[in-house]
Amino acid sequence: MLFGAHCPGGVKKALDNGAAMGAETVQLFVQSPRTWRFPEHDPADLEEFRSKREEAGVPVLVHALYLVNLAAPDDAIYSKSVDTMRATVDTACVLEADAVVLHLGSHLGAGFETALERLVPAVEQVLDRCNDRTWLLMENSAGAGGTIGRSLDELAAVFTALGRHERLGVCLDSCHLFVSGVDVTDASTWSALLEDLDQRIGLDRLRALHANDAKAPLGSNRDRHDNIGEGLIGEGLGVFLAHPKLQALPVVLEVPGADGKGPNADEIRKLRELHARATS
């Protein structure tokens, strides 16, 4: 496994910040995560990222803006979301990122079937801009409100509705699985889910993991990440990491860190140690 983190600093600094914390995988935002405005990236910055990354040889994931909702019932939000995703994927392709990780969005009460009708044409436009190098990964959701992707059923339904698109994959988040009711600390539950995923989507489509502990209980649908070993998953996160079929994947931390400033070297070290204990 390649252990890394969501790194601050965007296109200009994320790789350096990742290297400083010993990250073997770097996830980044290519815009401020809390505003719609998409920056005009200086082509020289993108080129510098690309060459630095080639030297470092680390997998790179771009995380989409949190405001994006490709199932939004509101037309204005929907079209802003599509525009943002197109710009995000275009930038990720220039960076030669391995994937863009996307939260599918929320139907905000309209129901899953209605959401699917909004979602499919939007995601198709985004997938059109991906390429063989840079995929789109759907992340499973914590299941709060009307969020889409709360279960394997929903992810598989979206995958099928998109015609099993050749550049569409999945990223599974341990905290989101746990709070949506999947006990990833139980080896048989976790391997049953992966077997199910293999049959309905294909394990080769699982391209990244997010390793986060959870502050909220199993099945609570509350998206509250905790530091490694400090939450309700605790040592059980080792079960999530130890599955033999996942050992080639990049693993990204999205934890608050001791100081609330996000992942750091200490969290990556704890994750590596947990994995070593669980696989020894």
CA angle 86/108/213 to nearest 5° reads 80
Stretch that binds Zn ion, among 27-35, 75-83, 146-154, 204-212 (CB under 5 A): 204-212
Min separation Cβ 99 and Zn ion, Å:
13
Q: Is 223 in the site for Zn ion (CB under 5 A)?
A: yes
Size of the site for Zn ion (CB under 5 A): 4
Complex with Zn ion: residue 96 or 254, whichever CB lies closer = 254
- 103 touches Zn ion (CB under 5 A): no
Nearer to Zn ion, 41 or 268 (CB): 268
Please report whether residue 243 would count as binding Zn ion according to CB under 5 A: no
The site map against Zn ion for 244-263 (x = CB under 5 A) is ----------x---------
The answer to whether 226 contacts Zn ion (rule: CB under 5 A) is no
According to the binding rule CB under 5 A, does residue 267 interact with Zn ion?
Answer: no
Provide the minimum distance between the beta carbon of 225 and Zn ion in the complex, in angstroms, as a whole number: 6
- Pick one of 173, 213, 226, 267: the residue that binds Zn ion (CB under 5 A): 173
Can you say how many angstroms the Cα of residue 15 is from the centroid of all Cα atoms in its chain? Answer: 18
Work out whether 210 is an interface residue with Zn ion (CB under 5 A).
yes
HEC letters along the chain: CEEEEECCCHHHHHHHHHHHCCCCCEEECCCCCCCCCCCCCCHHHHHHHHHHHHHHCCCEEEECCCCCCCCCCCHHHHHHHHHHHHHHHHHHHHHCCCEEEEECCECCCCCHHHHHHHHHHHHHHHHHHCCCCCEEEEECCCCCCCECCCCHHHHHHHHHHCCCCCCEEEEEEHHHHHHCCCCCCCHHHHHHHHHHHHHHCCHHHEEEEEECEECCCCCCCCCCEECCCCCCCHHHHHHHHHCHHHCCCEEEECCCCCCCCCCCHHHHHHHHHHHHHHHC
Give me the least distance between CB of 87 and Zn ion, in Å please: 21
Pick between residue 37 and residue 261 the one whose CB is nearest to Zn ion: 261
Of 147 and 264, nearer to Zn ion (C-beta) is: 147
Please choose, out of 32-40, 113-121, 172-180, 194-202, the segment that lies near Zn ion by the rule CB under 5 A: 172-180
Q: Quote the least distance from Cβ 240 to Zn ion, whole Å.
A: 13
User: 48 or 254: whose CB is closer to Zn ion?
Assistant: 254
* Residue whose CB is less far from Zn ion, 41 or 236: 236
CA 88 distance to own-chain centroid: 14
> Which residues bind to Zn ion, rule: CB under 5 A?
173, 210, 223, 254
